[in-house]
Structure 1
């Protein structure tokens, strides 16, 4: 940890423990490198698959529209801390990317396996492999609010709900 990071942590009134990131900020490889936030990479991805870009290609437009909507709903659910985590299962999305050659497309598939709990690391590995396949920055960092569900929060809500009101 740099001396600047230590002094910043002390100014905030606490000690920063080396190697532990805040729960909402995760770097899978721990290399300390500057990786884009998930939202930045998703924005680049959505600009490549947005259905409006496929006006003259109805099949690709329909596939992208359906997958785009379902994937966005998945992301909205994991951002909402009042929503249960994604149920256990496999969430599959198929997209078409335009290539440099007019009328030719690259078909890519995203499969997200979820466990019914805080499976952020599992989802991150799948997203990183998918981003690499799409030619986007592979590594990313979760920002606050990207994945608000946590087991601790769920247990706390459960405890509060089970206590009789006075």
Structure 2
């Protein structure tokens, strides 16, 4: 299946919702300038990511794909701990092992046993699937970390706090 490029004239329609929001923000004087700046920044970031993905998807390097997967797992591990106020650095290793272990195993099962990617690292499938799997793992770790922290701060012993965290995730 081939997908035809979208002409810029049609792509411009996607700007309508953002322009409407910025116009409303300007009308009600609630920071339209900041919103417009954020929109331009987002647009530039998306263009940069698009070019990076074209390069990555065109590559035939399993090492590049593995490096990207490790970077995705590392970023997910750090973001998952945003609900933790103190001790984030002490938990990053456990978060990384959890996300890479659970998410990596799930990703391996999906890509190798279910989909049987050929080559096994097919970038245009592996990386989007990894994004979905690691984001799900990140959510589970985030919920568990938040619940564990809340239970421990309420004076609950470690074993029941751990059970509550696992049940929450």
Q: TM-score range by the shorter chain?
A: under 0.3
Judging by fraction of residues, say which structure has more strand. Answer: 1
* Greater relative contact order (Cα < 8 A, sep 6+): 1
Question: How high is the TM-score relative to the length of structure 2?
Answer: 0.25
Structure possessing the higher radius of gyration over alpha carbons: 2
Judging by fraction of residues, say which structure has more helix. Answer: 2
Question: How high is the TM-score relative to the length of structure 1?
Answer: 0.25
